[in-house]
Structure 1
Amino acid sequence: MLSDEHGTLAIRGDWTLADYQALKQQIEAYSDRHWESEHIDLEDLGRVDTAGASLLATLLGPECLVALTSENDILPREQSALLYAVADAMREKPVPEPDAPALVVQFLNETGKKVEAVWDLSRILIGFMGQIIATFFAVLPKPKRWRVTPFVAAIQDTGLNALPIVALLTFLVGAVVAFLGATVLRDFGATIYTINLVAFSFLREFGVLLAAILLAGRTASAFTAQIGAMKVNEELDAIRTLGLDPVELLVLPRVLAMMVSLPILTFVGMISGLLGGALVCIIALDISPAQFMAVVGREIGLTHFLVGFSKAPVFAFLIATIGCLEGFKVGGSAQSVGVHTTSSVVQSIFMVILLDAIAALFFMQMGW
Structure 2
Amino acid sequence: MTLISAAPAAIARTTAQQLVLSGCWTARGLGGIDGQLATLSAPSGATLLIDASGIVALDTAGAWVVQKLLRRLRDASAVVELRELPPEFAKLLAVVGQQVDQQDTDAKPAAEPPASRLESLGRNTAAGLEQGLALLSFIGECTLAFAGWLAQPRRIRWRPILYNIRSAGFDALPIVGLLSFLLGIVVAYQGADQLRQYGANIFVADLVGLSMLREFAPLITAIIVAGRSGSAYAAQIGTMAVTEEIDAMRTIGIAPLELLVLPKIIALLIALPLLTVFADLLGVFGGMIMARAQLAVSYGEFLDRFVKSVSVTAYLIGIGKAPVFAAIIVSIGCFQGFRTHGGADSVGRQTTRSVVQSIFLVIVADALFSVAFSALDL
Q: TM-score, normalised by structure 2?
A: 0.71
* RMSD over aligned Cα atoms: 3.2
Matching of residues 195-344 of structure 1 within 5 Å: 195-344=205-354
CA distance in 1, matches of 2:339, 2:211: 37
Matching of residues 154-193 of structure 1 within 5 Å: 154-193=164-203
**1:112 maps to which residue?**
122
One-letter amino acid matched to 1:170? S
CA distance in 2, matches of 1:188, 1:356: 32
CA distance in 1, matches of 2:175, 2:49: 88
CA 1:47–1:139 in structure 2 vs 1: closer, same or farther (change >3 Å)? closer
Displacement over 4 Å in runs of 4+? 14-18, 45-52, 97-101
Matching of residues 104-143 of structure 1 within 5 Å: 106=117, 108-143=118-153
Q: CA deviation at 1:46?
A: 12
Q: CA deviation at 1:99?
A: 8.9
Q: CA deviation at 1:366?
A: 1.6
Which sections of structure 1, spanning at least 5 residues, go unmatched?
A: 1-13, 29-44, 57-96
CA distance in 2, matches of 1:186, 1:114: 51
- Secondary structure of 1:290's counterpart equals helix
Larger radius of gyration: 1
**2:361 maps to which residue?**
351
Per-residue CA deviation, residues 126-154 of structure 1 (Å, 9 max, x unaligned), is 11111111111111131221100010001
Per-residue CA deviation, residues 302-327 of structure 1 (Å, 9 max, x unaligned), is 11111111110011011011111111
CA 1:181–1:109 in structure 2 vs 1: closer, same or farther (change >3 Å)? farther
CA distance in 2, matches of 1:290, 1:111: 59
Per-residue CA deviation, residues 48-85 of structure 1 (Å, 9 max, x unaligned), is 99879x678xxxxxxxxxxxxxxxxxxxxxxxxxxxxx
Aligned sequence identity (%): 40
Q: CA deviation at 1:17?
A: 4.6
- Is the Cα contact below 8 Å between 1:15 and 1:47 reproduced in 2? no
- Is the Cα contact below 8 Å between 2:234 and 2:350 reproduced in 1? yes
CA 1:283–1:128 in structure 2 vs 1: closer, same or farther (change >3 Å)? same
- Is the Cα contact below 8 Å between 1:15 and 1:48 reproduced in 2? no
- Is the Cα contact below 8 Å between 1:159 and 1:261 reproduced in 2? yes
One-letter amino acid matched to 1:345? V
CA distance in 2, matches of 1:100, 1:333: 28
One-letter amino acid matched to 1:241? T
- Secondary structure of 1:331's counterpart equals coil
CA 1:286–1:330 in structure 2 vs 1: closer, same or farther (change >3 Å)? same
- Is the Cα contact below 8 Å between 2:48 and 2:78 reproduced in 1? no
CA distance in 1, matches of 2:48, 2:167: 88
CA 1:189–1:113 in structure 2 vs 1: closer, same or farther (change >3 Å)? farther
CA distance in 2, matches of 1:290, 1:225: 47
**1:360 maps to which residue?**
370
The range that moved more, 174-183 or 223-232, is 223-232
Figure out how many residues of one structure are paired with residues of the other and give that number.
295
- Is the Cα contact below 8 Å between 2:196 and 2:295 reproduced in 1? no
CA distance in 1, matches of 2:193, 2:48: 101
CA distance in 2, matches of 1:120, 1:24: 57
- Is the Cα contact below 8 Å between 1:151 and 1:254 reproduced in 2? yes
CA distance in 2, matches of 1:273, 1:47: 91
**1:63 maps to which residue?**
none
CA distance in 1, matches of 2:133, 2:202: 49
Per-residue CA deviation, residues 75-107 of structure 1 (Å, 9 max, x unaligned), is xxxxxxxxxxxxxxxxxxxxxx99988xxx62x
CA distance in 2, matches of 1:268, 1:190: 28
